Structure formats: structure tokens, C-alpha cells
Structure 1
Amino acid sequence: MADVEDGHEDEVEVVVAHNERATLRVGDVFLKVDADQRRTDVEVEAMAVAPVPTPRVLWRKPPVLALAALPGTALARLGEPSTASPAAWAAAGAAVRRLHDAPLPPWPGRSVDELASALDAECAWLVANDVLPTDLVTRNRRIAEAALRPWTPVFTHGDLQCAHVFVAGDEVTGVIDWSEAGRGDALFDLAILTLGHEEHLDDVVAGYGSDVDLDLDVIRAWWSLRSLLAVRWLAEHGFDPSSPGCEVDVLRSRM
């Protein structure tokens, strides 16, 4: 969801588009088009119960979901330096904590076994197709194993990229893109929020709360796991995971 701007009410902006879904902006309205209505069902239900600010649903007419724009700007974007203050990152951590303390949603998330199977498949594909060096994949695969352990499920956003958290000053004004929400590992959300912005991990943890046992090695393991799982999807959908500061650089930083 792009930043709020004045005017341009008659212009149509393609925010993101690939063969699974598309998001368009017309003035201060975002139109999300998704052929998989299960994802939209999850998004609408998650936004209705999440204890953090979310976009207002204007209307829904499958396959289109219309959402009101949020005030503020994205906390950061992968591959770009963050201009948000440490206090804004801490506020994002506090918002994530409120979500994780909320009652569990009724639908499940991905299991450890599902993630392990997906990781095996993606690593094999990356090596077999010479997409990434074998030693890079092997090293990150070994690091990622630390994330594949039992966890106490919480209400997770499931795709909490820094670009999905909007802030104004030092306050969170909303969180977007809830289609992957479900029961999951709290450290996964914290890892995705700080992916590519490791320098703000301490700020996020400070906002999240020191009374929680946060295993930073597991967060780092999720960085490797998420990046390994994302490379093929991104490449096949028109994105470049090798752009500076993005997934491939995250994997290289683990070396």
C-alpha cells in the first residue's frame, strides 16, 4: 500500500501486480484483486479481530476487496535505508506484541513439518538450477534449522514486512496485507519485520518487551529460512531477490 498523497483521484496506480494477485490505487482507495478468495477471507477476518490499527474495509465484491488508505508512510522498505526513528521501530515492536498477546485466530498456520519440507525443496531447486552457490545455500540451510523447532503458537501476521507497517512520526498508524495471518511463531513475525534491517532489531525487541524470552539466534535463523524460501517465488513473479539489500544479500550476510 503506497504512501498517502494529495490529489491524483482520477489516476490509477498499479501498486503491485503478478499472476496471483494485484493491488491498484485510485485516489485514497486501494483495490486488491485476488482470485484465491481464501486469502481474502483470512485478510478480512484477521483485520476485524487484530488489536492493532488496520485499513478500513470499504466494500468487497469478489474477487475485489476495497480498502481505505492509511495515514503515514511505510516503516521501511527492503533494500532501502530506513528513515524511521528508533522510536518508530520500537512502536512497531510494541504493536507486534499486542497482536501476539491477542486470542488465537481459529484457523491454523504452517506447521514445522510443512516448513521443513518446503525448505528442503527450495534448497534443492536453488542448487540444482545454479541459482545460488552451493556453499551459500548449505550454510544458510544449516542456520535455518534453528527455526524448525516446537513453538507456542500466537496470533501472527504471517508476512510482517517492514513495508507493511505504517507510521506517522513515532506512532504506528496501521498494518496492511493480512492474507497470511494465522497461528504461528512469534519470532517469525519479528524476523520478517527486521529482515534486511538488522540494525533495528534491538529497537524492535525493546518495544516488544524484555519480559519475553527472545532467542535472537532463532530470529536470525528465520532470516535465512525466509530468504531461502522466497528466492524462487520472487524471481518467477517479476521481482529481483538479488537487488542490493534484499534476500540474496541477507543470505550472503550470514556467511
Structure 2
Amino acid sequence: MDEVKVVVAHSERATLRVGDVFLKVDADQGRIDVEVEAMALAPVPTPKVLWRTPPVLAIAAVPGAALGRLGEPSTASPAAWAAAGAAIRKLHDAPLPTRPGRAGRGLDELAADLDGECEWLVTNAVLPADLVTRNRQVAQAALRPWTPAFTHGDLQIAHVFVDGDEITGIIDWSEAGQGDALYDLATLTLGHEEHLGDVVAGYGTDVDLDVIRAWWSLRSLLGVRWLVEHGFDPTAPGCEVDVLRSQT
């Protein structure tokens, strides 16, 4: 029997790897529904669904290696980053799914959540008040009208796989749906600003870099408490807190 490897595990979901098969166990079957539907619709390489028996979804591993990981230098080539940008553009140009995604939250709801998280960070002395205030100001640029696109919603670099300069698969589609295209670009380049130019070149159209930077601040401010409460460390080198510091 192949070794069982825990890829990620917290109170909401767990992912295990057994050989070339990933087993995703999720307490919310709605997220699994979104993932299966999005992979069927997306015009980019996605994992093959092997079987589904709630609460477990089995998918095949995609070839290649992750584009990188947050907090670590990426060894992928500029051409691979550009290929990721081109794949994202193809996704964003595809027909819209019916569901709203993580990148499609209403502006009023998002602003309220952002204000609440900033207050929590300062009140509990998790981060310095001036750091939070400055990043809240930067984040404001993301709170603007946007044209809906087919978005992945959680496009961190560990979810994009490459072989050489070719995209071989994009995984973890549970947050997919209609949303702000620049949210995906910002998520991919979070903590890897040095590759933003490559991604934008591959994306092939002008983007508002100030909005991407705003999403870096907004996503990081919203993520710190969740990461802490689920056993992750946002203060690790190159991760969310460092991103917030770099914005000032």
C-alpha cells in the first residue's frame, strides 16, 4: 500500500495523497459541488475526477511541480510565470459560471469584513496600528466596481502546476465562480511581486497594478486571523505579515 501523506488538514477540510490520488474530505459538500462543476467548465488543465462518495472527492494528481510556495523563492522560469498569466486570461475570458465565487463578494460586505478584521488586529495587538491603517488605506483601491469574470478564487501559486514552461494543471477549485479578475492575479503573485511583470505579460492586456497591490493588502488583512485560528503562521518569512510590511 502507498504511503498516506497529509497535504493539508484543518477543521473545515483535509486533503490526503495516496500515490497518484488525492482524497479531499470536506464538511461542506457545497464546496465540493463548486469544485467539480468548475473543473468541468474551466478551459484550462484541471485534475481528473476519479470518483466521489460524500464527504470524499478523489482526483488524480497532475503532472509537474507547483509554480512555487508562499514564503519561498520560486524556481520556475519567467516563461512559466507568463504561461500562468496566459492560462488565467483564458479562464477569465471563458463563459461565466452561474455561481458567485470567493472573488465575487459584494463591496459592502467586503468593506465591512475588512473593517472588522482591522479592528480585531489592532484591538488584540496582533499587528501595529500604523501597519494596519496604512494597509487599510492601500486596500481601499480594490473596493471598486468590476466586470464579472470566471475566477478561480484561490489561485495561490501552490495550486498552479508546471512542467518546464508549460502549465500542466490548476487545482483546488472550491472557491471558483464569478468574480473580480484582478483578485486572481493578485492571489497568484502574493509574496512574489518580482514575477508580477511576467504574469501580466502572459495575461496579455493592461491591468491596474494599484488594484493588484490593493488586493495584496486586503487579502492579507483578511487572512491573518483565519490562518492563526487554523494552525498556520502568517508571520513566517515572506508570508502575509511580510506582505503587509512591504506595502508600507
Give the TM-score, by structure 2 length.
0.98
- Matches of 1:236 and 1:244 in 2, distance apart? 19
Give the total of aligned pairs: 245
CA-to-aligned-CA distance 1:111-135 (integer Å, 9 cap, x gap): 2122111111111110111000000
Select which of 12, 18, 33 maps to 2:10: 18
- Matches of 1:93 and 1:44 in 2, distance apart? 23
Structure 2 residue 24 is matched with structure 1 residue 32: yes
Which residue in 1 is equivalent to 2:152?
A: 157
- Matches of 1:215 and 1:154 in 2, distance apart? 16
Which residue in 2 is equivalent to 1:102?
A: 94
> Percent identity, aligned pairs only?
82
- Matches of 1:167 and 1:72 in 2, distance apart? 5
1:108 CA displacement: 1.5
1:33 CA displacement: 0.2
Letter in 1 for 2:182: L
Select which of 185, 188, 213 maps to 1:220: 213
- Matches of 1:10 and 1:185 in 2, distance apart? 40
Give runs of ≥4 in structure 1 deviating > 2 Å: none
Structure 2 residue 245 is matched with structure 1 residue 252: yes
Select which of 217, 236, 242 maps to 2:235: 242
Letter in 2 for 1:246: C
Which structure 1 residue ranges, 5 or more long, are not aligned?
1-8
Which residue in 2 is equivalent to 1:65?
A: 57
Which residue in 2 is equivalent to 1:88?
A: 80
1:88 CA displacement: 0.1
Kindly report which structure 2 residues correspond to 1:174-253, keeping only aligned pairs within 5 A, or say none: 174-209=169-204, 212-253=205-246
Give the TM-score, by structure 1 length.
0.95
Which residue in 1 is equivalent to 2:140?
A: 145
SS across alignment from 1:248: helix
Which structure 2 residue ranges, 5 or more long, are not aligned?
none
Q: Tell me the C-alpha RMSD between the 2 structures.
A: 0.7
CA-to-aligned-CA distance 1:139-194 (integer Å, 9 cap, x gap): 00000000000000100000000110000000000000000001111111000000
Which residue in 2 is equivalent to 1:6?
A: none
Which residue in 2 is equivalent to 1:119?
A: 114
